[in-house]
A and B are shown apart, each in its own frame.
Chain A
Amino acid sequence: MSAIIIRQGLVVGEHSSAVADVLIVAGRIAEVAATIDAPSDAHELDARDCWVGPGFVDLHAHLREPGREAAETIESGARAGALGGYCALVAMPNTEPALDNVALVSYVLERGARTALDVAVAGAITKERRGESLAPMAEMAALGVRLFTDDGVGVQDPSVMRRALTYAKPLGVRLAQHCEDERLAAGGTMNEGALSGRLGLIGRPALAEELMVLRDIELVRLTLAPLHFLHLSTSRSIQMVIGAREEGLPVTFELAPHHFTLDESACANFDPIFKVHPPLRATSDVEALRDALRRGVIDAVATDHAPHAPELKDLAFDEAPAGMLGLEHCAALTFEALGPTADPRTFFQVLSRGPARIAQLRSSDVRVRHSAHGGSMVAGDDANVTVFDPGARWRVDRNTLESRSMNTPYDGRAMSGRVRSTIAKGRLVVDEGRLT
């Protein structure tokens, strides 16, 4: 592993940023200083006008393996992630079969270890994600699993959710909830409102999400077990969780890039590419989410990267599966949403430090062989570093993605800001926006 020297980027620490050189040797940050005399064989990266910070951590990646390898594999997902600036991915458990036992978790960890990134696993809360009986969370926790969710759907039964929180708390793990009351969502396929009424599509009301957010905040109050709210999409949802957090309850939440980038009007042409759960919401919700992002009150931005084979997105809108790609665009969309006066610390907070803390990836874990993420950019940190060029301009082309799937809602879209380099586990895996 040869040394890497990142020259003259804006190094974004936890509390301050300064232009500096970063020297990486043997998988660790060896030195951060105004100018460094690097070893002659060090690989030089020119990072002038770029932001240099801790590598991104995605709390929410559907890597589809095992079961739907036509859509994505752990390996292809990791490549897409690396291009997107990610050094660690949390693989979601809604595979086929679901990741609800140690054998399957071990399989994913084993596959993940062969990639350039750290792949952590979110285990299922309930067996087969059916929302009925608890999955063996203690056994999975012993393997290093730190996050549990039935994502794809929320745990519908409040007594099961209460039991899961009570069971998880002493294990030192965190549950994560996909908040949508499926009965109220009623099989809907887009946001409920004037547009769904006109299009004759069944709506998923904002209330379906908000009721479960409200319920789960109260369950956290009862159990004091930590809970992470996945992909919140409405103004009211984030207000409730921010309020609960201010009260001191152990709650965190993430936003998905599509929810602060696209609104429900994207569904007007019945293109299933724009079908996602929770659905794209009203403009006012999109604005509230962007505003929260800018105010720095968001714990994490997570991709909800949900690859689907092309033929499944060529079905009718109500028959097509929900979900869209995210790994390769998330950083640019987050940068765009933060606006021209974007604070680079907020940027790395929501894409790296916040999610690393939620996933308990800030220190290394030998059991799952992963390195430490979301660091402070100081000597001694494990070398997970992303170089982001805020001045870059590019255009999304669904035919050139690293993901096995093409279901990006941003095909042809002009983007500003791009990941230039990703250094994961001490290796340069992306350079000049390309896999090495």
Chain B
Amino acid sequence: MIESIRGRSLLSLDELSKAAMVEVLDTAESFVEVNRRSIKKVPALKGRVVASLFFEESTRTRLSFETAAKRLSADVLSLAVASSSVKKGESLRDTIATIDALGIDAVVMRHRSSGAALQVSRYVPHVRVINGGDGQHQHPTQGLLDAFTVRQVLCERHDTTGLESGAAMFEGLRILIVGDIRHSRVARSDVAAYATLGAEVRLCAPGTLLPEEVATWPVTVVHDFDEALAWADVVGLLRLQSERGSGAFVASLDEFTFTNGLTVERARLMKPEALIMHPGPMNRGVEIDSRVVDSSRAVVERQVSNGVPIRMAVLYLSVAGSGEGQTL
């Protein structure tokens, strides 16, 4: 168990303790305030170099990370890398060695292959590696920002602050995750975050979209979607990962909507105060109806905006956290 990500890479939420997660959420609170200032910048990582290395296409995560790094005053090296290192004929080790030779403190990376961030962290142990999503494995900052968003909304309702509440909001909280769990790195990080923070997590998906031996996960699998919707305080939806071949795992997109789509009718089964979340990009009309996305219960945009303070917190703790006692 990792008790704090200070001075460490962030590769997966599987090994992170509750205290380590709360530390990130609490640190992010102070950066929310920074993001409200007219001058949205602090000198925390001044002079530090963060490389952003996206082997796989991404818009929002990349933008979010680079924004976070810049608001911490880090220099950002943004590298366009071919989608497959094999096609390019260069090994993962050579690619990272080249970038490391430029002098970097941290690398934010995304890769289509599970485990790629962990491999890179072995190749350059002196560089902090922040996993921005690896294959079907983990997307730790997404898991943290989802937890942060839940805590933020619930604290507002209870008229308390995130810092005061710690992980209390998650005690007994009922969270339902729906959709393509099998191919989703977000699902793996979300489950780790929510379960570690104390929530009760249920999964609902077509049998083919559940991971192997899901019984070993800290969750309950349910098959009655309607009943699960009525049960949940938070509903997290996932899109079908068609680019990972999940198309063949269900009969059709229509059928997926029939079994697991959050339609307007189904949304009525939910508790009035329940939250609807989606990590994006959304397939409107497939896993979620447009009218549901645009309802007040959906906090999708808030998830996007919370991406920046969470990633600031992760970069700050990971890169600056090892030493010099910097102030914000």
Contacts and interface: CB of A to CB of B under 8 A. Distances in A.
Given A200-B188, A271-B119, A318 B113 contact: yes
B278 interface: no
Nearest to B192: A198
B57 interface: no
Contacts of B114: 199-201, 270, 316-318
B136 A314 contact: no
Given A201-B114, A270-B115, A314 B92 contact: yes
A35 B86 CA distance: 61
B213 interface: yes
Interface string A315-335: 111110000000000000000
A197 B115 contact: no
Interface string B86-97: 100001111000
Interface residues of A, number: 21
Residue with the greatest number of chain A CB neighbours at <10 A, chosen from B91, B122, B134, B138: B91
Given A192-B212, A270-B119, A200 B94 contact: no
Contact of A200 (B92, B93, B138): B138
Contact of A311 (B94, B112, B134, B214): B94
A316 B113 contact: yes
B113 A269 contact: no
A316 B212 contact: no
A350 B14 CA distance: 42
A181 to B, nearest CB: 17
B86 A319 contact: yes
Nearest to A202: B136
B185 A200 contact: yes
Contact of A194 (B122, B185, B216): B216
A199 B137 contact: yes
Contact of B85 (A193, A201, A319): A319
Interface string A54-91: 00000000000000000000000000000000000000
B312 to A, nearest CB: 26
A315 B212 contact: no
B212 A200 contact: no
B137 A315 contact: no
Contacts of A233: none
A197 B14 CA distance: 13
A196 interface: yes
A319 B112 CA distance: 10
Interface string A199-227: 11101000000000000000000000000
Contacts of B185: 200
A68 to B, nearest CB: 15
A203 B212 contact: yes
A201 B115 CA distance: 9
Residue among A193, A196, A269, A316 with the most chain B CB within 10 A?
A316
A312 B136 CA distance: 22
B118 interface: yes
B116 interface: yes
- Kindly name the residue among A270, A271, A312 whose own CB sees the greatest number of chain B CB atoms within 10 A: A270
11 contacts: A193-B213, A196-B212, A197-B212, A197-B213, A197-B214, A200-B114, A200-B137, A200-B188, A316-B85, A317-B116, A319-B84
Given A197-B216, A203-B212, A316-B119, 14 more contacts: A197-B217, A198-B188, A198-B217, A200-B135, A200-B137, A200-B188, A269-B118, A270-B115, A311-B93, A314-B91, A314-B94, A316-B113, A317-B119, A318-B135
Interface of B: 14, 84-86, 91-94, 111-116, 118-119, 122-123, 134-138, 182, 185, 188, 211-214, 216-217
